[in-house]
Amino acid sequence: MENLEEETLIEETDAMSEKKKEALFSQLFLPLLDTAYNFAFRLTLNESDAQDLVQDTFLKAYRFSNSFQIGTNAKAWLFRILKNSFINEYRRKLKNPATVDYQEVEQFYNSEEADTKMTTDLRVEVLQDMIGDEVAHALNSLDIDFRTVIILCDIEGFTYEEMSKILDIPIGTVRSRLHRARNILKEKLKNYAKKYYG
């Protein structure tokens, strides 16, 4: 009798967890579809790859939603899956993979020598006058790891701690990578302004 009760209990828990999984998914993750798609597009720079990536991410999120701890940040959890899927499956498929050795780039920009060279004198009026999508273009031309930190911080508003979890890097690296990324971005915008606005 006791065994029977236990079995029924287990079955009920399983049924509940499947229902719970679906509820969790539609309440927490589905509302994040647009923001996840935006992130996927900014990573892949291609509509069709972004659609595949976002589908892949949401199916994984559903499959693994048991491992999501309720009360923690759903968006950060989802973005971590998206970023890992991108690295594992899409990065190597991209038509124009980055030819720059990122490690080398980061080492250079992390060196003290770079800091004095990279000080930018981008003017605030230049930014105000840019009416087209210059900023988006400049961002898209950044190396993928530099682009990612700017998207996560400036567009999605993640904290350094959340970014550190999404990207699996220490907070110090988040900070330095963000700093270099912004300096390169400002340099690009300054050159762009020189070229087109004189």
Residues of this chain that interact with another protein (CB under 8 A) are 18, 22, 25, 30, 33-38, 41-42, 50-51, 54-55, 58-59, 62-63, 116, 119, 121-124, 127-128, 130, 133, 135-136, 139, 150-151, 153-156, 159-160, 175, 178-179, 182, 185-186, 189
- Reference 149, options 132, 133, 169, 129; nearest CA is 169
Closest approach, Cβ 3 to another protein, in A, equals: 28
- Alpha-carbon span 57 to 44, nearest angstrom: 14
Nearer to another protein, 106 or 174 (CB): 174
Other Cβ atoms less than 10 A from the Cβ of 56: the count is 18
- Alpha-carbon span 94 to 45, nearest angstrom: 9
Nearer to another protein, 99 or 116 (CB): 116
166, 80 contact by CB (below 8 A):
yes
Closest approach, Cβ 173 to another protein, in A, equals: 14
Residue 188 CB partners (closer than 8 Å, separation 6+): 138, 141, 142
Residue 159 CB partners (closer than 8 Å, separation 6+): none
Nearer to another protein, 80 or 179 (CB): 179
Nearer to another protein, 53 or 106 (CB): 53
Closest approach, Cβ 95 to another protein, in A, equals: 19
Closest approach, Cβ 148 to another protein, in A, equals: 12
Closest approach, Cβ 33 to another protein, in A, equals: 5
Nearer to another protein, 5 or 64 (CB): 64
176, 164 contact by CB (below 8 A):
no
Nearer to another protein, 105 or 135 (CB): 135
Closest approach, Cβ 88 to another protein, in A, equals: 19
Residue 105 CB partners (closer than 8 Å, separation 6+): 143
139, 150 contact by CB (below 8 A):
yes
